[in-house]
Structure 1
Amino acid sequence: MRLGGRLSAAIEILSDIETRHRPVAQALKDWGTSHRFAGSKDRSAIGNLVYDALRRKRSYAHRMESDELNAIVAAAAIEAMGLDPQALADALEGDKFAPELPDAARMAAFLHKDVSDAPGAVGADIPDWLAPKFEAVLGENWVAEAAALSDRPPLDLRVNTLKSDREKVLEALKPFDATACELSPVGIRIAPIEADGRHPNVQIEAGFQKGWFEVQDEGSQLAALLASTAPGMQVLDYCAGAGGKTLALSAAMENSGQIHAHDSDRQRLAPIYDRLKRAGCRNVQVHDPRDDLAGLEGAMDVVLVDAPCTGTGTWRRRPDAKWRLSEGALEKRLAEQDAVLDEAARYVKPGGRLVYVTCSILGEENRERIEAFLPRRAGFGVENLAASFETLVRQGEGTRAFHVPVAGGTALMLTPLTSGTDGFFVSTLRRAG
């Protein structure tokens, strides 16, 4: 496909997403199915345009002085793909599949216009109703912090220390310019894609097939590390999902002790079996959602709750989600978080810890949920997680996480701008012994 066809395809897919309120991944998949003539490079380039347009559609619209889809896609082509406006116009000359783009003067002006005169939500590329919530938790630099959630993300991997080590995996992934993560001691990073490129399919690499590493954002790795599990412990991963943190906990525990992996959704849990086998995890017992967990009550050293949330911290990877999020959906998540915290707390033994994690940066889902939980469940107190972060994680100078005061203790919040990770919140609560 020529560039004009790629731009038109991106506009078509974005229109489908807006009209039918569909997830971007599904819209891209359906377009590819109905346009089989498009090669893998075409689909990758079109996907980049769509994701970039969704990530920054408010700031692009402001700078282009138009919120029409053709203007947003042109902005993505100029900025994210690094195309000069004149070069873009020249490339589309005579292309019968090319869409009509803004005039040359407007596209040229786009390069020099910024969002300094726009409302904060425009520069942050978020819905207006979320602006005060972001400001409340991110402080005076909230616009820049939120805008970083619209950057292209890196590809992060976690070394499985049950089977390999970081130097060995780095050598195996040398063709992809992989580097060690700055914070996670078992993390490896492949830089964000540039222009119309794409990340390598690391899952076809021999190292992945042998279980040497897993795909996992550095922030998720740190959340598992901050759970501070140790060999011999009894652990419940109460919202295990596909098992990313379960595998990380198993490696940290050196395949000893016992991890109970549970999730209320059988479909989310399904991938965990193959992942455990490939990783060589022998200390994990997977519980079907119908299983009775009564025998675990009051017996766990650590209960990890990776709670259902709005996913505001993952918007680099799922930019369509921020435009679908509503206040009603947020309220539903808050109720689910309260329920799962109350249920999970039953399994913590005296002296044990409850670890609460979300991939959200909203205060309502994080600090406020802990503060609401404490009066309902006597005997739990919030620990100072900032001290654990300094001991276990931080390398180099400077603050790499937000310290969040919670009921006499300190939780942590990670963000793309400050921490270089997806957005995560982590709080640990100790039950009185």
Structure 2
Amino acid sequence: MTPGARLQAAIDLLTDMHTGTAPADRSAAAFFRNRRYIGGSDRRAILDHAYAVLRQMAKLDWWIGEFVSEQGLPHLERARIIAKLILIDGWTADKVAGSFDGGDYRPKQMNRTERSFALSLEGADIRNGAQPKWVRFEYPEWIEKSLVKRFGPGYEQEMAAQIDEAATDIRANALKATREEAIAALAAENVTATATHLSPLGLRLDGRPPMGALKCFQDGLIEVQDEGSQLAALLVDARPGQRVVDFCAGAGGKTLAIAAAMKNKGKIVACDTLKGRVERAGDRLKRAGVFNVERRGLESERDPWVKRHAGSFDRVLVDAPCSGTGTWRRNPDAKWNLQPDDLPRLAKLQASILDSAQRLVKPGGRLVYATCSLLAEENDHQIDAFLASHPDFERLPIADVWRDVIGTDCPADGPTLSLTPMRHGTDGFFVAVMTRKASGGAAQTEEPAVEQE
């Protein structure tokens, strides 16, 4: 494809992303699925254009707004690409016009208004002192209060770190390879990997190799998983022979990590109300060599299956649905799709899921709560409220759990773990570990646990 054809494809992709309801990554997958003639290098270039716009969209739109107030621009995605090329890539207006020439598969010629817009941006810095903080640091204005409450004066630096593209992290699958063996297997396929700082199983790749084409991936030696997510799974402290529930398993990333920690011994039940996702995890389980997992779709967090199995599991992981504020580096579109009423709705759902999942934990067992959120409303506040209403549980110091499982000093200085892109180089993750007191038990209203797997 010519550079101009790539730009037109990026405009079309952005249009699909912003007119549909699917997340950006799913929109992109559908876009390229319907255009199989686009090769790998062209796909990467098109995605780079589109995601650069998504990462800096507030600032690009601010510049568009400055111009629109006088003249107006008829096609927003074209204007965003024009602004991106000049403000981020350093193109001149003439160079932009050279690619917007109306040739085959290339953007139609710039009109007089677009040409004037491009000229007005030459020499400008994408960051401008007149921009409000939420524009400069790329987050919804309404969420600022929660960010300040969580991070204090340092919130600007935390949000600045969220603009950058996340690295590609993978986990060595301990069922098939050590981390050193995974590094060697990747090197044999010309992929450079270095050990992550916090996860003992993690590797950070140089660049973005086509994972599906790598033999070591096809053979199950490695799994794509952010370092923070790896740590959340490790802190479940699942051991061989135990019975474990991954209550919100989704596509099964943490389930795979837990199975490896258990050495395929014992049993894991991977549950989710999105039944299709948990069922589709079958291929991942097979590739990883995991065979101690039962996949179970639930009607809701209050599914009767929970009541039937009350008090019968050693470990229960609740990786709760959340705002996803810790993953904005990977999903920059998600920040603009998040709405103010989503936070109280999610908080209510998280509390309900915790209240239901705790029934599964046997005396002396552990309940692990995790989110990929940075917000206190979804993290520490949830745990404080849960413990206040469930006196048969107590919080375990995360530093003690970390030391037992990982064997190094914990990066957290409080009772729970909060990872952030700025401080730790991972996605934003929260983990709290609680135990049901040995003298307690499942709720008295529950029926005895029975095996009905």
Work out whether the TM-score is over 0.5: yes
SS at match of 1:351: strand
1:185 aligns with 2:200: yes
1:77 aligns with 2:85: yes
SS at match of 1:188: strand
Match of 1:107 in 2: 121
1:292 aligns with 2:305: yes
**How far 1:109 sits from its partner (Å)?**
2.5
Match of 2:133 in 1: 120
**How far 1:272 sits from its partner (Å)?**
2.3
Match for 2:44: what amino acid? S
Distance between the aligned counterparts of 1:139 and 1:18, measured in 2?
32
The more displaced of 140-149 and 380-389 is 380-389
Of 407, 418, 426, the residue aligned with 2:423 is 418
Please list every run of 5 or more consecutive structure 2 residues that lacks an aligned counterpart in the other structure.
Answer: 69-75, 439-453
Of 56, 80, 92, the residue aligned with 2:99 is 92
Of 181, 188, 208, the residue aligned with 2:217 is 208
- When residues 395 and 380 of structure 1 are mapped into structure 2, their CA distance, relative to the original with a 3 A threshold, is closer
Distance between the aligned counterparts of 1:169 and 1:132, measured in 2?
43
Distance between the aligned counterparts of 2:178 and 2:26, measured in 1?
36
Match of 1:5 in 2: 5
- When residues 269 and 327 of structure 1 are mapped into structure 2, their CA distance, relative to the original with a 3 A threshold, is same
Match of 2:17 in 1: 17
Contact 1:92/1:98 (CA < 8 Å) preserved in 2?
Answer: yes
Match of 1:379 in 2: 392
SS at match of 1:327: coil
Match for 1:424: what amino acid? F
**How far 1:329 sits from its partner (Å)?**
2.4
1:272 aligns with 2:281: yes
Deviations along 1:375-421, one digit per CA (max 9) or x if unpaired, are: 3222112222144446655879xx955x4x5xxxx111111111111
Deviations along 1:115-145, one digit per CA (max 9) or x if unpaired, are: 5553221122011001111121122221121
Distance between the aligned counterparts of 1:358 and 1:137, measured in 2?
15
1:149 aligns with 2:162: yes
Match of 2:374 in 1: 361
Deviations along 1:262-311, one digit per CA (max 9) or x if unpaired, are: 22221110122222222222332333437834453112221110111121
Match of 1:196 in 2: none
The aligned runs of 1:221-236 (5 Å cut-off) are 221-236=230-245
**How far 1:184 sits from its partner (Å)?**
0.9
Match for 1:47: what amino acid? L
Match of 2:50 in 1: 50
Match for 2:18: what amino acid? E
Match of 1:240 in 2: 249
Match for 2:269: what amino acid? H
Distance between the aligned counterparts of 1:413 and 1:75, measured in 2?
36
Match for 2:49: what amino acid? L
Contact 1:3/1:91 (CA < 8 Å) preserved in 2?
Answer: no
Match for 1:431: what amino acid? R
SS at match of 1:360: coil
Match of 1:350 in 2: 363
**How far 1:91 sits from its partner (Å)?**
5.1
Match of 1:338 in 2: 351
Of 417, 425, 434, the residue aligned with 1:429 is 434
Q: TM-score, normalised by structure 2?
A: 0.83
Q: TM-score, normalised by structure 1?
A: 0.86
Of 297, 306, 318, the residue aligned with 2:331 is 318
Distance between the aligned counterparts of 1:288 and 1:105, measured in 2?
56
Distance between the aligned counterparts of 1:36 and 1:221, measured in 2?
33
Distance between the aligned counterparts of 2:27 and 2:270, measured in 1?
32
1:130 aligns with 2:160: no
The more displaced of 329-338 and 124-133 is 329-338
Contact 2:244/2:268 (CA < 8 Å) preserved in 1?
Answer: yes
Match for 2:99: what amino acid? L
Aligned residue pair count? 417
Contact 2:86/2:118 (CA < 8 Å) preserved in 1?
Answer: no
Match for 2:3: what amino acid? L
Match for 1:248: what amino acid? A
Distance between the aligned counterparts of 1:394 and 1:107, measured in 2?
53
1:163 aligns with 2:170: no
Distance between the aligned counterparts of 1:22 and 1:271, measured in 2?
18
- When residues 235 and 28 of structure 1 are mapped into structure 2, their CA distance, relative to the original with a 3 A threshold, is closer
Sequence identity, in percent? 39
Distance between the aligned counterparts of 1:230 and 1:26, measured in 2?
35
- When residues 172 and 40 of structure 1 are mapped into structure 2, their CA distance, relative to the original with a 3 A threshold, is same
SS at match of 1:421: coil
Distance between the aligned counterparts of 2:40 and 2:29, measured in 1?
12
Contact 2:87/2:126 (CA < 8 Å) preserved in 1?
Answer: no
- When residues 333 and 212 of structure 1 are mapped into structure 2, their CA distance, relative to the original with a 3 A threshold, is same
**How far 1:221 sits from its partner (Å)?**
0.2
Contact 2:87/2:121 (CA < 8 Å) preserved in 1?
Answer: no
Contact 1:115/1:122 (CA < 8 Å) preserved in 2?
Answer: no
Match of 2:28 in 1: 28
Contact 2:85/2:96 (CA < 8 Å) preserved in 1?
Answer: no
- When residues 107 and 354 of structure 1 are mapped into structure 2, their CA distance, relative to the original with a 3 A threshold, is same
Larger Rg: 2
Contact 2:169/2:202 (CA < 8 Å) preserved in 1?
Answer: yes
Distance between the aligned counterparts of 1:283 and 1:257, measured in 2?
7
**How far 1:334 sits from its partner (Å)?**
1.6
- When residues 66 and 104 of structure 1 are mapped into structure 2, their CA distance, relative to the original with a 3 A threshold, is closer
Contact 1:183/1:394 (CA < 8 Å) preserved in 2?
Answer: no
Contact 2:83/2:118 (CA < 8 Å) preserved in 1?
Answer: no
